[in-house]
Amino acid sequence: MPLREQEVPRNDAGLAQGLSAPARLEALPGVAIERVAETGSTQSDLLERHAGPGAPPLHGAVLRVAGRQTQGRGRHGRRWLGESGAALTFSFARVVARADLGALSLAVGVTLAEALAARFAAGAPRLALKWPNDLVLLDAPAPAAHWRKLGGILIETSSAPGGRLVVVGVGLNVGAPPEGVAEQATGCVAEGWPGADPETVLAVLAPALAAALQAFEAQGFDAAWRARYARLDALEGVALVAGSVRGVGAGIAADGSLRLRTEDGEIVAVASGEVRVRAGSAAPTEAAA
């Protein structure tokens, strides 16, 4: 007999866990699904096709999934590596009829983190978000703050008839990369969701992402999104440095900026750039984040 909602076991974040997942995504209403064995970058593919000069307007949405990327791109111009078979790499594009998209990346992070956490086993490391939207496994909460990154989100936009074309790129370590391949301390989905494979994870994340874009388009980054982010915030209470600002993570502002409480008790909001854990605190530096 299926469990009623209140009987579904919950993990540390209060999220339902252990839900069964479909094995493969076969269809998603209004979304064209493309699977390729290899490409340079799913993100570049969709941007070139739908935002390039003379590109025809995109109707509906498109999901492009690659078994392997040879030129995967990360945030801040970094490259993104993903081991074939152990990683999930995809981009999802659609036009969003909304101008204020600054906090969309946080809403996407919340959506993916919650969808994965709901499949995590009891006792697994907690899934959390490092501002703005890195998916991390939290080995120790603040102030010790130790985490390992298991996935990242890259959002790029372009003007389009009826709104903005939004391309959401997601890269996730699903299985553990082979020994010696990872460039830094990493985590993977299988640590919390044993037996997870890229197709199963895609089948869970893609519908959640499609629904999140719809919700964000309708309501923006409202108080409900911010409350959900707060439950996943890995930086709350952690000693940080962001550019010239030094302070302790104090949640996020209404526009998705990161709030830091300085030594003087002042709250400073940081809208962009790199955030590092402050050297000399008990936490790892950015290299392990």
Q: Are strands 31-39 and 61-69 parallel, antiparallel or unpaired?
A: parallel
Comparing CA positions, the residue from 74, 130, 109, 146 lying closest to residue 221 is: 109
Applying CB under 6 A, the site for ligand BTN has a residue count of 20
Distance in angstroms (rounded) separating the CA atoms of residues 171 and 284: 23
Comparing CA positions, the residue from 210, 273, 278 lying closest to residue 249 is: 278
Comparing CA positions, the residue from 197, 155, 147 lying closest to residue 172 is: 197
50 versus 73: smaller Cβ distance to ligand BTN: 73
* Single-letter code of the amino acid located at 274: E
The structure tokens listed for 150 are 């298991």
Asked whether position 153 contacts ligand BTN by CB under 6 A, the answer is: yes
Distance in angstroms (rounded) separating the CA atoms of residues 148 and 173: 11
| 3-state class (DSSP) for residue 187 | coil
Asked whether position 177 contacts ligand BTN by CB under 6 A, the answer is: no
Q: Which stretch binds ligand BTN (CB under 6 A): 87-95, 120-128, 182-190, 263-271?
A: 87-95
Dihedrals φ, ψ of 217, to 5°?
A: -60, -40
Asked whether position 75 contacts ligand BTN by CB under 6 A, the answer is: yes
Measure Cα distances from 73 to 58, 150, 157, 168 in Å: 22, 16, 15, 12
Least distance to ligand BTN, CB of residue 6, Å:
36
Contacting residue, 11, 41, 111, 257, with ligand BTN by CB under 6 A: 41
Contacting residue, 109, 125, 132, 171, with ligand BTN by CB under 6 A: 171
75 versus 276: smaller Cβ distance to ligand BTN: 75
Q: Are strands 163-173 and 239-242 parallel, antiparallel or unpaired?
A: unpaired
Asked whether position 98 contacts ligand BTN by CB under 6 A, the answer is: no
Asked whether position 173 contacts ligand BTN by CB under 6 A, the answer is: no
Asked whether position 39 contacts ligand BTN by CB under 6 A, the answer is: no
153 versus 250: smaller Cβ distance to ligand BTN: 153
Asked whether position 111 contacts ligand BTN by CB under 6 A, the answer is: no
Using an 8 Å Cβ cutoff, are 133 and 170 in contact?
no
255 versus 274: smaller Cβ distance to ligand BTN: 274
Asked whether position 105 contacts ligand BTN by CB under 6 A, the answer is: no
Asked whether position 42 contacts ligand BTN by CB under 6 A, the answer is: yes
Footprint on this chain of ligand BTN (rule: CB under 6 A): 41-43, 69, 72-75, 78, 80, 89-91, 134, 152-154, 169-171
